[in-house]
Structure 1
Amino acid sequence: MIPHVSIIPTLSIILTIISQVYANDPKCDCYIVSGPEPGYFQNYRFWDFRYMPPEPKLAKEYDFPPLGNDGDTIKHDGDAGPLLKTPVLLKDTKFANEWVVQSWSRGSSSLFPIRLVNSEQNVFITNDPLRKDATNLVMRTTRLEDHSSTAEIETQSRNILHCSIRVKLRLFGGDAILQPPISGKSTSGQDENECQEGGELVEPEVLASPPGGACAGIFTYYDTASESDIEILTSDPPNRIHYANQPDYDFAKDEMIPGASTVVDLPVQWTSWTTHRLDWFSKDSLWWVDGIMHDRKTYSVPYHPSMLVINLWSDGGNWTGNMAVGDCVYMGIEWIEIAYNATTDGADISDELPNRRHPNHFLNTANIANEFAREGDPEKLSDNSGESDGKEETAVPRECRVACRIDDVQHNGFPEVVWDYST
Structure 2
Amino acid sequence: MAFTNPRSCLLAGLAMTVLTKADDFQETSDNDCDCFVTNGTNAHYFTNHKFYDFRSLSEYANVPEPINDPQDSSNAPLASDYFKQSPWSDSWGIQAWDNSVNLQEGEAKLLMVNSASNVYIGKNKDPDPASDTFLTLRTMRHDEFQSAAEFESIPCSYHFLSARIYARTVGAKGAIAAMFTYRKSDDPNLIQEADLEIRTIDPPDTIQYTNQPSYSRTGDAVSQATQNATVPRSWEEWSVHRVDWNPKTTTWYVDGQNVSQIGFQTPRDPAQVIFNMWSEGTAWTGNMTRGDAAYMQIQWIELLYNSTGDATTNSNSNVRHAVGTRLARRKDDACNKVCSVDESHKIGTAVLVVSDASSTMRVYSPLGFAAAFLIMLFAMV
Same fold (TM over 0.5): yes
Letter in 1 for 2:84: D
The structural deviation recorded for 1:36 is: 2.8
Q: 1:214 aligns with which of 157, 163, 175?
A: 175
Letter in 1 for 2:35: C
Q: 2:138 aligns with which of 129, 140, 146?
A: 140
Q: Which runs of 5+ in 2 are unaligned?
A: 1-26, 62-78, 311-330, 359-381
Change (3 A) 1:101 1:117: same
**2:214 aligned partner:** 248
**1:412 aligned partner:** 347
Q: How many residues align?
A: 285
Letter in 2 for 1:106: N
8 Å CA contact retained: 2:169, 2:296? yes
**2:43 aligned partner:** 38
| Paired residue secondary structure (2:211) | strand
**2:325 aligned partner:** none
The structural deviation recorded for 1:249 is: 1.3
| Paired residue secondary structure (1:96) | helix
Q: 2:292 aligns with which of 309, 322, 327?
A: 327
The structural deviation recorded for 1:240 is: 0.7
The structural deviation recorded for 1:267 is: 2.0
The structural deviation recorded for 1:304 is: 1.3
| Paired residue secondary structure (1:105) | coil
d(CA) in 1 for partners of 2:116 and 2:81?
7
For residues 357-381 of structure 1, give each alpha carbon's deviation from its aligned partner in whole angstroms, at most 9, with x where no partner exists: xxxxxxxxxxxxxxxxxxxxxxxxx
Change (3 A) 1:125 1:257: same
| Paired residue secondary structure (1:91) | helix
Q: 2:249 aligns with which of 284, 295, 298?
A: 284
**2:365 aligned partner:** none
8 Å CA contact retained: 1:24, 1:44? no
d(CA) in 1 for partners of 2:257 and 2:57?
30
Letter in 1 for 2:347: N
Change (3 A) 1:282 1:133: closer
Letter in 1 for 2:178: G
The structural deviation recorded for 1:137 is: 0.6
For residues 33-85 of structure 1, give each alpha carbon's deviation from its aligned partner in whole angstroms, at most 9, with x where no partner exists: 112331111111001111015279xxxxxxxxxxxxxxxxxxxxxxxxxxxxx
8 Å CA contact retained: 1:169, 1:333? yes
For residues 353-406 of structure 1, give each alpha carbon's deviation from its aligned partner in whole angstroms, at most 9, with x where no partner exists: xxxxxxxxxxxxxxxxxxxxxxxxxxxxxxx9xxxxxxxxxxxx7331101011
| Paired residue secondary structure (1:162) | strand
| Paired residue secondary structure (1:121) | helix
8 Å CA contact retained: 2:172, 2:294? yes
- Please, what is the CA RMSD of the aligned residues? 2.2
Letter in 1 for 2:308: T
Name the stretch that deviates more: 94-103 or 236-245: 94-103
Letter in 1 for 2:198: I
Letter in 2 for 1:114: L
| Paired residue secondary structure (1:304) | coil
d(CA) in 2 for partners of 1:37 and 1:99?
28
The structural deviation recorded for 1:23 is: 8.2
8 Å CA contact retained: 1:128, 1:136? yes
For residues 399-422 of structure 1, give each alpha carbon's deviation from its aligned partner in whole angstroms, at most 9, with x where no partner exists: 311010111321110111110216
d(CA) in 2 for partners of 1:55 and 1:168?
20
**2:83 aligned partner:** 91
The structural deviation recorded for 1:274 is: 0.7
**2:115 aligned partner:** 119
**1:156 aligned partner:** 154
Letter in 2 for 1:318: A
**1:403 aligned partner:** 338
Q: 1:304 aligns with which of 259, 263, 269?
A: 269
For residues 316-358 of structure 1, give each alpha carbon's deviation from its aligned partner in whole angstroms, at most 9, with x where no partner exists: 012211101111111110100000111128xxxxxxxxxxxxx
Change (3 A) 1:143 1:23: farther
8 Å CA contact retained: 2:96, 2:114? yes
| Paired residue secondary structure (1:170) | strand
8 Å CA contact retained: 1:167, 1:275? yes
8 Å CA contact retained: 1:117, 1:150? yes
The structural deviation recorded for 1:251 is: 4.2
Letter in 1 for 2:144: D
Q: 1:421 aligns with which of 356, 360, 364?
A: 356
Matched, 1:48 2:53: yes
**1:166 aligned partner:** 164
| Paired residue secondary structure (2:241) | strand
The structural deviation recorded for 1:239 is: 1.1
8 Å CA contact retained: 1:90, 1:124? no
8 Å CA contact retained: 1:90, 1:123? no
**1:25 aligned partner:** 30
d(CA) in 2 for partners of 1:297 and 1:328?
32
| Paired residue secondary structure (2:59) | coil
**1:374 aligned partner:** none
d(CA) in 2 for partners of 1:411 and 1:277?
17
Matched, 1:313 2:313: no
Letter in 1 for 2:109: P
Name the stretch that deviates more: 89-98 or 259-268: 89-98
Q: Which runs of 5+ in 1 are unaligned?
A: 1-21, 57-86, 173-209, 346-383, 385-396
The structural deviation recorded for 1:89 is: 6.0
